[in-house]
Amino acid sequence: MNRRKFLQTGATAALALSALPHYAADFGDMKKRVGLIGCGWYGKCDLFRLIQVAPVEVVSLCDVDKRMLAEAADMVATRQLSKKKPRTHGDYRDMLKEKDLDLVLIETPDHWHALPMIEACQAGVDVWVQKPISVDILEGQAMLAAARKHQRVVQVNTQRRSTPHLIEARDTIIKEGKLGRIAHVEICCYWHMRAKGNPPDKNPPDYLDYEMWTGPAPMRPYCEWTHPRSWRAFMEYGNGIVGDMCIHMLDMVRWMMDLGWPKKVSSSGGILVDKASKANITDTQTATFDFGELQVVWNHRTWGEAVDDKYPWSATFYGDKGTLKASVFSYDFIPEGGAQPVHRDVTYELEQYPEDKTEKDLEKHCAPAIRGHMKDFLKAIASRGRPVADIEQGYISTTSCILANLSMQLGRSLNWDPAKGKVIGDEEANRLLRRSYRTPWVHPEPANV
């Protein structure tokens, strides 16, 4: 290569790097080799936000849907700097056997979080895992044990902890004591997100490995809701709306108020209105997370009107000096005594990241939070420290939500012992901390990871 060609090549590379708006020096060795397990809607959303903030190389993708996998490979080739198309796999174990990954994103349905996350830790890979981390509590304990044993950085995608306007609300309203004493927080979701109808059972499409898609979960007949995106209609694959939406708001409250474990969890509800639907998750549920001198109360309804149409999925902090309403879209601080209220809206960052304007199905209000969460993840990898949504925090929030579902199932409150990882004085409840795995999959044990 002659000098002119060398200088031209260097200038091109520099220009490519300058196109990354937030290329940061504190990420350490930036050229991370990345894999994605689960190439659906949110898997691509998260991966493309990572590509926006760091010059990573996506080397491999994994999905049991051949069409989704091929589409994702083509899209990644257009988005990453190298323009290379990543390798594709139908089995995450084959991906991890290549031993060429620095970090992996696990973006599967909930019933497929635990096993890939644990195996990635065993392979020496740092992990980004979707919430809730698990579908049962013993899975979560094994995931935490694997992260600590193998000294892996694990970031859970409870990205409210990285939402800019919510960070501001925490730092300038709650931490500065402007609410005064907070003894009650209401969290909620009133979106009509429970699937309605009765789609017929049918054979899965030939491009989907339905046996592998089901994995350790109970085998259900396939229908159009199963794949993609509507699988949350069924408890076999997740933890209902509490596991999907409550976990975000509960985790946000815990983070904003520096809370650990609830002492007691109670819940009631069921399928009270839409009894005709094939969905087996609740359409109505209330849960109370009792932290002693603070109660955090959850409500969801997939019918009727929201209590506040500006805050249908949110947390409302009630203090003796004021009230704070917070959501992914905005926050409002209403002080007592007629002082000046404060309102902030989400900042979309569309000018800094113009591709957000055209990306299919992107939740534009969530993109800044995902980018911030990715930056925090990369910083933790560089420092070998704990990220803001460390696996232990994900375990606490996930377990609390699972306990709410178990409380509703059993019809009684559950007192939790975090040191022992058990419900206090309730052996029936403790038997429900582990779900049965379908053969040949083996449930992970905290002691054997």
Nearest to 441 by CA among 212, 134, 244: 212
Confidence of residue 338 (pLDDT cuts 50, 70, 90): confident
Query: What pLDDT was estimated at residue 31?
Result: 86
| pLDDT tops 50 at residue 8 | no
Q: Which helix (DSSP H) or strand (DSSP E) does residue 147 occupy?
A: helix 137-149
Residue 316 token pair: 């409302």
Residue 21 token pair: 């708006």
Residue 251 token pair: 């985790």
Query: What pLDDT was estimated at residue 23?
Result: 53
Distance of alpha carbon 188 from alpha carbon 250, whole angstroms: 10
Distance of alpha carbon 86 from alpha carbon 239, whole angstroms: 32
| pLDDT tens-digit map of 359-371 | 999 999 999 999 9
Distance of alpha carbon 222 from alpha carbon 205, whole angstroms: 9
Cα separation of the two ends of the chain: 50
Distance of alpha carbon 128 from alpha carbon 389, whole angstroms: 10
Distance of alpha carbon 234 from alpha carbon 217, whole angstroms: 11
Cβ-Cβ contacts under 8 Å for 70 (sequence gap 6 or more):
88
| pLDDT tops 50 at residue 4 | no
For the stretch 380-393, what's the b/e string if a residue is b when 16 or more beta carbons lie within 10 angstroms of its beta carbon? Answer: bbbeeeebbbbbbb
Distance of alpha carbon 436 from alpha carbon 121, whole angstroms: 23
Distance of alpha carbon 131 from alpha carbon 398, whole angstroms: 8
What is this structure's pTM? 0.94
Sheet holding 57-62, edge to edge: 87-89, 57-62, 33-37, 103-106, 126-129, 154-156
Distance of alpha carbon 11 from alpha carbon 385, whole angstroms: 35
Distance of alpha carbon 413 from alpha carbon 410, whole angstroms: 8
Question: What domains does the chain contain, in order, with CATH numbers?
Answer: 163-347+392-448 (3.30.360.10)
Confidence of residue 76 (pLDDT cuts 50, 70, 90): very high
Q: Which helix (DSSP H) or strand (DSSP E) does residue 105 occupy?
A: strand 103-106
Mean pLDDT value across residues 226-240 = 97
Distance of alpha carbon 386 from alpha carbon 383, whole angstroms: 9
Residue type, 382: A
Mean pLDDT, the chain, rounded, equals: 94
φ and ψ at 401, to 5 degrees? -70, -40
User: Do residues 433 and 444 make contact, with C-beta atoms less than 8 angstroms apart?
Assistant: no
| pLDDT tens-digit map of 132-184 | 999 999 999 999 999 999 999 999 999 999 999 999 999 999 999 999 999 99
